[in-house]
Every structure is written in structure tokens, then in C-alpha cells.
């Protein structure tokens, strides 16, 4: 059944709705004036961003450090978790699934608040490290589910075949299971990276002085009002997003 005119109209209106505000932001990042009235093309704000914005870059590198380290840990733990759930026969699997789904159902702000109270309670100073812990925590279930969904593409007999051909458990793990789940592991890693770089709410609660990440920095800049520098950062981040989305397309099916 071919879609009717109505659904086509809605789709195009949605795409316009999606892109008009973003396009305006991008356009005005090249404006020669500080106020949002177009006066002419200029790279002024990019120059400002690259030469005169130490705190933005500090926040950027903080975000990168947290994103990469948290994604590594989350992907490793999540992938092994998925392999264990796929491979093993043990009691309590249901409970593991429940604590995996809960973080996806509970609003982010609750995770942020509960971690903040937890860190203060155990007297852990708020820093990049606490942000790292928080990011691993909210990325873990995604990593697990992405790798698990990749593994589900294979029948269990593939592992039995490895045993049957003389493989030990380690060999089955390293020569068969990890290689076949690799696209899923990669997708999980990128998903964790994106979640980590994007996160504002949870980070907002668990960040301490001196551990500002890029979203926190952008947030405090937005609170001061509109500024062409934000437009310039937004444009660059958008470009990064487009590159990643195109690259990720291959792995999307393990994410949804």
C-alpha cells in the first residue's frame, strides 16, 4: 500500500521543522555581527572559538576524556554481560534483565540525583571521575542490549560447533563469539560515545568544580543569552554528528 498524500505532507513538514532552526543557527554562525541580524559573511566567531576560548576547549577535552574512557569500560562490561546472558545457563537471568531495563525506563534526572547523593554519602569528591562512573552506568544497558541483539542473529549451535571441533571455552570466546559480535561491540562503543558526549542532565548533577564538560559549558553559555560563539560550536558539533551518523548507518540495525 503506497502512502497517501497526507503522510507525505506530514513527513516533509517534520523535516522542515527539524532543520529550519538548525539551519538558522548554522547560517548565523557565519554572520559578521554579534546580534542576530544578517550583515555579512565572516569567520569571526570561529576565529574567536579557536583562539580566544580556553574554557570551551578545556570542557571539550574533558568531554572527550570522559567519553572515551567511559565508552571503553561500558562496552567491555556490556559486551561480556551480553555474551554471558547469551551463552550461559544460570538462574537469575531475569533479574539481570530487570536491572538492565530499569535505567532505560527511569528518567535521567533520577539517575543523576541518586548518583550525586550516593557520591556525597560515600564521600567521593565530585570530579571527572564521578562523571566517568555516571557515564559508564547509563551507557551499560545500551551496550549490553546492542551486543546481545547482534548475538541473537546467530543460533546457539555455532558455539556447540566450536566445542565439537575441539575448542576450549577461551578459544570459543576469542575465536568465535567475540569476532562474530564485533559489529555489535563497535556499535555499542559508538552509542556509548554519543550518549556520553550528549549527556547534560546526569553530568549536571555529578560534576564538581573544574570538571565542566562541553554540554555543561554550552548550558552555562546559553543561560547568558544567545551568542554567535554558541552558533559556531553548534555548527561544528553538528558537522561531527553528520559524519558519525553516516558512518554509523551500517550499525544502526543493532541499535534499534
Partner 1 sequence: MKYVSGYTLWLVIFFVIPLIIILSFSFLEKTPYGGVNFSFSLEGYKSLLTIGYLKVFWRTVWISIISTLITVLLALPAAYYIAKSKFKNLLLILVVIPFWTNSLIRIYAWIFVLGNNGIINQFLRFIGLIDSHIQFLYNPWAVILVLVYTYLPYAIIPLYASIERLDNSIFEAALDLGCSKRKAFFKVLIPNIKTGLITSIIFVLIPAMGSYAIPDLVGGVNSKMIGNEIARQLTTAKNWPAASAISSVLTLITLLGVILFVRNSKKEVLN
Partner 2 sequence: MLGSNVEIKNISKFFGDFQALDNVSLQVKKGEFFSLLGPSGCGKTTLLRIIAGLEQPDSGDVLFDNKSVINIPANKREVNTIFQNYALFPHLTVFENVAFSLRLKKISETEIKERVGKLLYLVRLEEHKNKKPSQLSGGQRQRVAIARALANEPKVLLLDEPVSALDAKLRQELLVELDNLHDQVGITFIYVTHDQAEAISVSDHVAVMNNGKIVQTGTPYEIYESPANNFVATFIGETNLMKAEVRETNEEFVRVFAKGIGEFECYKDKEVKKGDKILLTLRPEKIKISSKPLEGLNSFHGIVEEEIYMGYQTKYFVKLDEGYILKIYKQHVNYLLDEKIIHWKDEVFVSWNPNDSFIIEVEEN
Residues in region 193-252 near partner 1 by CB under 8 A: 194, 197-198, 200-201, 204-205, 215, 218-219, 222-223, 225-226, 230-231, 233-234, 237-238, 241-242, 244-246, 248-249, 252
Q: Binds 165, which of partner 2, partner 1, none (CB < 5 to 8 A, cut-off by type)?
A: partner 2
Q: By three-state DSSP, how is residue 36 classified?
A: coil
Q: How far is the CB of 247 from partner 2 (least distance, A)?
A: 21
From the list 46, 68, 70, 66, the residue with the least C-alpha distance to 56 is: 46
Residue 66 or 85: the one with the smaller Cβ distance to partner 1 is 85
Q: Binds 32, which of partner 1, partner 2, none (CB < 5 to 8 A, cut-off by type)?
A: none
* Cβ neighbourhood burial of 68 (10 Å; 0-12, 13-18, 19+): middle
Q: Should residue 180 be labelled a site residue for partner 2 when binding is judged by CB under 8 A?
A: yes
Q: Should residue 170 be labelled a site residue for partner 2 when binding is judged by CB under 8 A?
A: no
Taking the alpha carbons at both ends of the chain, their separation in whole angstroms is 24
> What would the x/- binding string for partner 1 be over residues 154 to 193, using CB under 8 A?
----------------------------------------
| Rounded-to-integer distance, Cα 242 and Cα 247, Å | 8
| Rounded-to-integer distance, Cα 246 and Cα 243, Å | 5
Judged by phi (left if over 0) then psi (alpha if -120 to 50, else beta), residue 39 lies in alpha
Amino acid at each position: 500500500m503506497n502512502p497517501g498524500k497526507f503522510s507525505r505532507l506530514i513527513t516533509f513538514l517534520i523535516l522542515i521543522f527539524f532543520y529550519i532552526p538548525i539551519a538558522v543557527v548554522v547560517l548565523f554562525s557565519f554572520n559578521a555581527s554579534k546580534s542576530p541580524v544578517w550583515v555579512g559573511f565572516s569567520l569571526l566567531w570561529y576565529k574567536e572559538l579557536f583562539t580566544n576560548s580556553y574554557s570551551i576547549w578545556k570542557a571539550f577535552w574533558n568531554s572527550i576524556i570522559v567519553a572515551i574512557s567511559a565508552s571503553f569500560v561500558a562496552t567491555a562490561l556490556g559486551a561480556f554481560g551480553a555474551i554471558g546472558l547469551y551463552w550461559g545457563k544460570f538462574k537469575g537471568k531475569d533479574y539481570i534483565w530487570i536491572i538492565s531495563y530499569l535505567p532505560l525506563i527511569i528518567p535521567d534526572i533520577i539517575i543523576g540525583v541518586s548518583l550525586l547523593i550516593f557520591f556525597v554519602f560515600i564521600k567521593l569528591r565530585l570530579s571527572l571521575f564521578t562523571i566517568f562512573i555516571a557515564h559508564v552506568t547509563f551507557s551499560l544497558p545500551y551496550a549490553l542490549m546492542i551486543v546481545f541483539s547482534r548475538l541473537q542473529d546467530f543460533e546457539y549451535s555455532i558455539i556447540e560447533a566450536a566445542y565439537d571441533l575441539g575448542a576450549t571455552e577461551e578459544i570459543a570466546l576469542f575465536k568465535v563469539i567475540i569476532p562474530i559480535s564485533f559489529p555489535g561491540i563497535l556499535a555499542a562503543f559508538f552509542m556509548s560515545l554519543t550518549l556520553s558526549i550528549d549527556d547534560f542532565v546526569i553530568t549536571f548533577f555529578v560534576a564538581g568544580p573544574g570538571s565542566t564538560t562541553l554540554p555543561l559549558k554550552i548550558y552555562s553559555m546559553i543561560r547568558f543569552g544567545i551568542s554567535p560563539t554558541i552558533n559556531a560550536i553548534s555548527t561544528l558539533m553538528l558537522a561531527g554528528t553528520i559524519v558519525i551518523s553516516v558512518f554509523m548507518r551500517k550499525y544502526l540495525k543493532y541499535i534499534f
